[in-house]
Amino acid sequence: MFVTVKKRAILLVLSIIIAVFGVIFIKNRQPVQSYVLGKTVVIDAGHGGIDGGVTGVNTGIKESEINLAVAKCLKSFLVYAGYKVVLTRSGEDSLKRGKLKDMEARAEVIKKANADLVVSIHQNDYPLNSVKGAQVFYAPNGECREIASVMQKALNERLSSTRKEATGDYYIIQCSSVPSILIECGFLSNPTEESKLITAEYQQKVAYAIFCGINQIMDIDSIMNRSV
């Protein structure tokens, strides 16, 4: 009797182990979407080092800290999905001393990455503290407007934003021929939005919204299979 019970216990344990490893195997064998294969995304966490960007109206938190947190979370989503990801910076410091040298160093990272898409992460600020919402910017030449529109829609749907994509005269989205957009994830000048942006939970939510937007962009042949 004891032997039978022991044998059943062993079989039960073995069944659990097999089931667990089966789930892990299936999970790791999930097919990669065709539009992901061979695609490289550069994520630029804006600012860094002595250039902290804007600061939170109540907490004084530096924009650069939130940018990096969102960038790292976004990288995790993308890598898990099968993308190759390059960060322009992975620590608190800037790449080079001086704004111009730092921006030129970021442009060099983009060039070496042979990227398919550049996404620059930022936080916004405005004198009127009632202004809020995530917004996407593209270069003034308008060539990336379609990409920006797709991303803006993804952010509006998932972050309850009502803003519209717009042109922006930013170096990082004009320094290469790679399709590039800049995302202002929210306003640190808005107390309510600041209180959300400083939390890991909301940073993850923002990162996932951007991830969904990137997937939609990559899946549109008319966008990614042409020179923009």
CB-hemisphere CA count at 13 Å for 27?
7
Nearest to 228 by CA among 115, 109, 147, 136: 147
Instruction: For residue 76, give the 3-state DSSP assignment.
Output: helix
Give the pLDDT confidence score for residue 79 in this predicted structure. Answer: 96
* List of domains in the chain: 34-224 (3.40.630.40)
Give the pLDDT confidence score for residue 33 in this predicted structure. Answer: 76
Distance between CA atoms of residues 159 and 216, nearest Å: 16
The pair of three-digit structure tokens given for residue 130, joined into one six-digit string: 């009632």
Task: Let me know: does 69 contact 203? Beta carbons within 8 Å.
Answer: yes
Give the pLDDT confidence score for residue 19 in this predicted structure. Answer: 43
Give tens-digit pLDDT for 110-137: 999 999 999 999 999 999 999 999 999 9
Give the pLDDT confidence score for residue 25 in this predicted structure. Answer: 36
Question: Which residues in the chain come in under a pLDDT of 50?
Answer: 2-7, 10-11, 13-30, 227-228
How long, in residues, is the chain?
228
